[in-house]
Amino acid sequence: MEPHKSPRPTLARVASRAGVSPSTASLVFSGAGPVSDATKERVLRAAAELDYAGPDPRARSLRRGRSGIVGVVVDERVLHAFRDPIKIAMLDGIADVLGGIDAGILLLTETGDGSGLLATAPVDATILVACSPSIDDSVALLRRRGVPVVVVEGASVLGGAVVSLDNRAASRTVAEHLRELGHERVGVVSLPFAKDRRRGPIPAEWRSSPSITPVDRLLGVQDVFPDGRVVAAAASTVEEGIVAGRALLDAARAPTAIVAQSDLLAAGVILAAEERGLRVPQDVSVVGFDGVQVPGLAAEYDLTTMAQPAVEKGRAAGRAAIALLAGEEAETVCFRATFHRGNTSAPPR
């Protein structure tokens, strides 16, 4: 004879054992309403005694007509996102907030042509965290699907939300720092402007690029140095910084300072300078943007940069997604970057 099996624990049994209504017990597990600490403790103790892990998320999704998943869209290559400390920090912030409502995260990539999971993924809302040249296409696709959209560093979205950074003012700050040091020939390594992520000279129509971040950061530098040569990188990676750095440093009149639009790109520029026997900052100054630790960069370098609050940006994006899911208007937030003077900038020789 088989031993008698205890009935599967249910929310109703937990509520009965805790001496509360099923709706109160449900509020404890969903975190969707005000419940006193004493009541919460009683319900959780009863759940532990019954070995009850919480409501079945599949049933909850069916009742709500939702998947319980928020899509997070990064650049078209996930590999680049996971090598970028800024994107990792933003993802940490997003996960920190969405974890509070027990929402899952589905990492998606942009293709720019309407194909791929972005067109079909069962998501309740989507956060675009990459300053991608394909961002307009992605937003349009998601709006056609009726999916609420949060854009990190992008144009305003009808019915959506935007989390932004003072990119132009921040880049102007670091350019003014170089001018105060006495630099006149300043080059720029930019993030990609074009959808094909072409490296090299920037397109003539760069000001109209949907990728707002490189546009605003370049405008900030050009507020101070309007004639500096600009080389676009294909991605925010150290390797791309090396390629762009070589192009600038091999010119007949090489710049005495280089502004890179990310710290990863700046690290690549430093490595390109070292290849050529140039000392940073004695022979060439290099400044970045982000304020992150770059793996592989020699410990002797303390990068002069603009530090941005990436985790807080991610949290703000997560809160905006929750607000949109609740049918509320999401707050538009603009963060500020702070100047960090390291040891990679000095007066020109």
The mean per-residue pLDDT over the stretch 318-338 comes to 91
**Sign of the C-alpha dihedral computed for residues 159, 212, 306 and 220 taken in this order:** negative
- Residue environment code for 106-142, b if the CB has 16+ CB neighbours within 10 A, otherwise e: eebbbbbeeeeebeebebbbbbbbbbbbbbbbbbebb
- Min mean pLDDT across 122-131, 211-220, 310-319 is at 122-131
pLDDT value at 276 more than 80: yes
Predicted confidence at residue 136, as pLDDT, reads: 74
325 or 26: which leads in pLDDT: 325
The mean per-residue pLDDT over the stretch 291-313 comes to 94
| pLDDT band at residue 76 using 50, 70 and 90 as cut-offs | low
Question: What does pTM read for this prediction?
Answer: 0.79
Predicted confidence at residue 55, as pLDDT, reads: 58
In which order are the strands placed within the sheet that holds 230-232?
Answer: 200-201, 230-232, 186-190, 257-260, 285-287
Decide if 1-50 and 167-308 have a common fold.
no
The mean per-residue pLDDT over the stretch 47-66 comes to 64
Classify strands 200-201 and 230-232 as parallel, antiparallel or unpaired: antiparallel
**CATH for the stretch 1-50:** 1.10.260
Q: DSSP letter for 208, please.
A: G
Structural domain spans, the chain: 1-50, 69-165+310-337, 167-308
Percent of the chain with pLDDT over 90: 48
Classify strands 230-232 and 186-190 as parallel, antiparallel or unpaired: parallel
Q: How confident is the prediction for the chain on average, in pLDDT?
A: 85
Predicted confidence at residue 63, as pLDDT, reads: 46
168 or 4: which leads in pLDDT: 168
CATH number for 167-308 (one of 2.40.50.110, 3.40.50.2300, 2.60.410.10, 3.40.50.880): it is 3.40.50.2300
- Min mean pLDDT across 56-60, 68-72, 267-271, 318-322 is at 56-60
Predicted confidence at residue 59, as pLDDT, reads: 46
125-162 pLDDT tens trace: 999 986 666 677 788 888 888 889 999 988 777 778 99
Whole-number Å distance between alpha carbons of 242 and 233: 9
**CATH for the stretch 69-165+310-337:** 3.40.50.2300
